């Protein structure tokens, strides 16, 4: 038992009567008998048990003996009523505690809902396009490409005057036949400018030949071009050609 009131409540339950009609005298007798039996078997009792036993003995004597003429303090009936009220409150607390403990408990009787799981969405596309739909889509794409704006990159062009000045410097150093392609390949650094350099240089070379400043020679179609400074010659003399 946790306390002497718990013992009184247990003894009162043995009477199997309503707490409103409980017999305090019978309850006191049962409590005193319990204390006496505990003493006989030499059980160690707490002090509050003995105090309750003395108080119940006093209450029993007050209930059995007539009231004095000038009572000091509460009467025996009031004391018995107060004790019965305390027992009723204790019984109500016990019942409420039992109802709470008997309710479904979390993680034992009921369990919370788990975290939601993501649902994987699997799609299986099905194409129902006809040949006409495919041709229409293809034509639309082609139309968009046609209407798209065209940006032409500006190309670097070697002017004819630049090519002529470069050839005049080369002709001044070339006393013998030299390959024009080799000079131009070593002169041009950027590969994207080779076409304009070759075209402008060839046009400038033709002008210099026409003016009598240099001589050109090519043995076959698409063969390398050879050039040299035109030497002073008497009229009617023929130029010697480069020998491979």
Domain assignments of the chain as residue spans, ordered by start: 4-101, 160-229
Task: Provide the residue-wise pLDDT of the chain in tens; the chain has 244 residues.
Answer: 455 556 555 656 665 545 445 566 666 777 677 777 766 655 555 555 566 666 667 666 666 665 665 556 677 677 777 777 777 787 778 788 888 888 888 888 888 887 777 888 888 888 888 889 889 999 988 888 776 666 777 777 878 888 888 888 877 766 788 888 877 777 666 777 788 888 888 898 899 888 888 888 888 888 888 888 887 766 555 555 554 5
Q: What is the pTM of this model?
A: 0.34
* Cα→Cα distances 229→169, 225, 239, Å: 10, 14, 11
CB atoms within 10 A of CB 167: 24
Question: Which among 90, 57, 91, 89 is positioned nearest to 76, based on CA atoms?
Answer: 57
| Stretch (H or E) spanning 228 | strand 226-229
Instruction: Count the alpha carbons within 13 Å of 134 in the hemisphere toward its beta carbon.
Output: 5
Please answer whether residues 52 and 4 qualify as being in contact, where contact means their C-beta atoms are separated by less than 8 angstroms. yes
CB atoms within 10 A of CB 170: 20
Return the CATH superfamily for domain 160-229: Structural maintenance of chromosome 1. Chain E (1.10.10.580)
């Amino acid at each position: 038992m946790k306390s002497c009131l718990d013992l009184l409540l247990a003894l009162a339950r043995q009477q199997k009567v309503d707490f409103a009609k409980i017999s305090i005298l019978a309850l006191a007798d049962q409590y005193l008998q319990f204390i006496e039996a505990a003493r006989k078997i030499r059980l160690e009792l707490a002090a509050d048990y003995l105090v309750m036993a003395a108080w119940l003995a006093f209450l029993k004597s007050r209930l059995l003996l007539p009231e004095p003429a000038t009572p000091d303090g509460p009467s025996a009936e009031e004391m018995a009523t107060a004790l019965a009220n305390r027992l009723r409150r204790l019984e109500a607390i016990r019942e409420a505690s039992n109802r709470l403990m008997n309710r479904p408990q979390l993680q034992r009787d009921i369990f919370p809902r788990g975290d939601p799981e993501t649902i994987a969405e699997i799609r299986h596309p099905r194409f129902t396009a006809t040949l006409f739909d495919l041709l229409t889509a293809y034509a639309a794409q082609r139309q968009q490409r046609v209407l798209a704006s065209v940006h032409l990159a500006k190309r670097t062009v070697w002017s004819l005057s630049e090519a002529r000045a470069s050839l005049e410097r080369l002709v001044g150093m070339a006393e013998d036949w030299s390959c024009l392609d080799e000079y131009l390949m070593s002169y041009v650094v950027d590969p994207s400018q080779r076409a304009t350099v070759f075209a402008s240089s060839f046009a400038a070379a033709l002008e210099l030949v026409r003016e009598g400043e240099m001589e050109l020679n090519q043995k076959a179609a698409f063969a390398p071009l050879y050039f040299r400074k035109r030497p002073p010659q008497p009229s009617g003399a023929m130029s010697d050609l480069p020998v491979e």
